[in-house]
A and B are shown apart, each in its own frame.
Chain A
Amino acid sequence: MGAVCAAGSGVAAGSAAVYEGKDCLTPLSIFESGLKNAPLSGQIENLQDSYKSPNRTIALACIAASEALAAIKNRQGLSFGLVFATTVGGITRSELFYKAYKADVNAASRAAQELAYHEPCAASGFLCETFGLQGFFTLSTACSSGLHAVGMAKRLVEQDVFDACLAVGADALSLLTIRGFSSLMLIDPTGCKPFDRRRAGTSLGEGAAAMLVASEKTAETLGIAPLGHISGWGATADCHHMTAPHPTGEGAQKAVAAALSEAGLAAKDIDMIASHGTATPDNDRSEIAAMKAVFGGLPPFFSLKRTLGHTLAASGILEAVFAVCALREGVVPPTAGFEEADDNVGAAPSMCRKKTMRHFLKNSFGFGGNNAAAVFSLSNDAGAL
């Protein structure tokens, strides 16, 4: 697994911040947002890019992919694929170019170089070239993308399309997303407070995460011990509203049920929920309503949005990476930003605690009513992180 985010570069650094419930949000400074007050964001201030990446999203993806592949010494004769998930693709560079072009039409002469990596699939091509991957899919289902990428990678391996498949989710902070979420009044200027009575919106972040998905047989050939098992994946659509979640989370319930069914597990088998937990009033209420419908009494749950920011297409896989670490360590992470329970939500996230666990559920929900759920389990022969 690999990760880079506001909580640090590398899975170990990020996990430490997650277990601690650290608040890693800082006033946005990596670009001028044009907003009256710089919103608290999960930004990476000194991004170290040794890949000469053509844009920030690709730089983040390369850092995460590199860490996930670091343990592989020899993969000769094995085919490695990629499922890459992004929401913004190359917009960080395109929006700067467009601003310059609006100011001066002569900037058009730079269009070929500035827009060459605009398309989301340009990042996939770059990752394949950099890491020697043999095929790919580029997925963009907004905030649920990263978790769907994990599910797709699982299928591609199960169906022998690839011997191993790298799932990567990456999104850089951009003017488009900061101003877009702001226009929808979905950003809490004081920083997000998941599931809290005072919650007033989310906080955006940037980052990337990667998981190398392989069968046990391939893992053995590669000489690596599995860190966890992807037991089930569920995908549904709400068919309710373009941005608001279904009040009782019907689509989310069905996605969770599908993931549990594929995993061959019952709700009572789930030891922990790594929630989507964006901290918008509607989303948190809807997610808990859906989880109550599935689970009855909820297992311990947490949100990492105050620790990492909402990293959009990266969020599902990034938070799953840290939840896999938590599962292995037997730690239910705390929810930074949460202080006061909300009667309208009717459930409070867990305080940090130790617990023997075997399976956890990860939820991710996106614009357009797109729902992803996945169940992760401990492997019997789990390796060291």
Chain B
Amino acid sequence: MSLKPFSVRGFAAVVPASDSAWQAEIPAHLKRRDPRIWHMAYVAVARLLKDAAEPPRSMAVGTALGALDETKNFLDGIFKDGFGSPKNFIASVHNSMAGKLALEFKIDGPNLTLCDGQNSFASAVASCAMFPSSAFPCLVVAVDESVPLVNELVSHLSPACAAYLADSTREAAIALLLDRRALPQQPAIRAIGPVPLGSREPGALAQSLAARFEDNDTSPLVIPLESCRSFVSAPLLVHERLAAGQAGRFIVPSFSPSSKACAAVEICL
């Protein structure tokens, strides 16, 4: 199997911890109705597409928990008042966010939502290979938010979850515009979707996945797995590299404790 790379035609991000201005970019018609995680995704995509020469024709969204807070709000309504709000229910469905982005940005091609925990970004990038050539450029969005209920339960969760919650960059929305054609002077990205650990340790599996990107002469810098703990660490690290624009080949692995699986993304600049 050869892993064909995609050209990265553009990238953008919303990182609430370091970006106090992002909420000012939420359009008025979305502000009151939609959940915060949708706002994050919307603003990241709007920033990406502001100067895009060609609009996306398809979409792959990677999210671990989706709008989990909306699930909680819906259940709160049932347990407290005996009635859950339909607005909360609609938003609680994992792919509603992708439907909303399609609606707002008029992206009428294939639209998939991948829910692979910390590996969701790698899954989303890898799944673009399943779209027909007419579906490009393709929008990839990786998004997760900090959920108060989960934070509340942190001390009772597993050590792996506790480590994730200690990560200061645990919420972000990252948007990429990918093309199937190799475009000169453009960064390239490719990914291996989740591979179960089996009897291996996460670090060893991550190294072996990195070795699968072998059809390239340049030695890569493999980011340590310990730096990629949160749901959005991998896409954030990729975004950092794209923003820095420094030439090189970087491999960003990820590990999901829930599925006991690793994935990896390679970026070439």
Contact = CB atoms under 8 A, between A and B. Distances in A.
Given A121-B258, A368-B102, A251 B156 contact: no
13 contacts: A34-B78, A89-B115, A99-B79, A101-B153, A116-B158, A128-B259, A135-B192, A136-B194, A137-B127, A140-B115, A156-B130, A236-B108, A370-B95
Contact of B99 (A122, A124, A180, A242): A242
A110 B119 CA distance: 26
Contacts of A366: 95
B111 A137 contact: no
Nearest to B150: A115
A366 B260 CA distance: 29
B157 interface: yes
A29 interface: no
Interface in B109-139: 109-117, 119-120, 123, 126-127, 129-132
A217 B199 CA distance: 30
B100 A368 contact: yes
Interface of A: 34, 87, 89, 91, 95, 98-99, 101-102, 108-112, 115-122, 124-125, 128-129, 133-142, 148, 151-152, 155-156, 159-161, 175-176, 179-180, 183-184, 235-243, 251, 254, 258, 262, 366-370
Contacts of A115: 153, 157
B65 interface: yes
In this complex, which of B78, B85, B129 has the most chain A Cβ atoms within 10 angstroms of its Cβ? B78
A242 B103 contact: yes
Contact of A369 (B103, B116, B129, B260): B103
Nearest to A251: B108
A125 B89 contact: no
Contacts of A139: 112-115
A368 B259 contact: no
A385 B127 CA distance: 31
A278 to B, nearest CB: 15
B107 interface: yes
Contact of A176 (B75, B119, B192, B259): B75
Contacts of B196: 125, 128-129, 133-136
A288 B189 CA distance: 41
A204 to B, nearest CB: 13
B259 A119 contact: yes
B259 A138 contact: yes
Contacts of A101: 153
B90 to A, nearest CB: 6
Given A138-B114, A176-B74, A239 B258 contact: no
B84 interface: yes
B64 interface: yes
B235 interface: no
Interface string B9-32: 000000000000000000000000
Contacts of B59: 237
B110 to A, nearest CB: 4
B194 A137 contact: yes
B82 interface: yes
In this complex, which of B116, B119, B161 has the most chain A Cβ atoms within 10 angstroms of its Cβ? B116
B131 to A, nearest CB: 8
A118 to B, nearest CB: 8
B90 A179 contact: no
B96 interface: yes
Contact of A137 (B1, B75, B123): B123
Contact of B93 (A116, A125, A129, A368): A368
Contact of A87 (B93, B103, B123, B127): B93
B84 to A, nearest CB: 5
Contacts of A148: 112
A129 B200 CA distance: 12
A180 B72 contact: no
Interface string B75-99: 1101100111110011011111111
Contacts of B78: 34, 175, 179
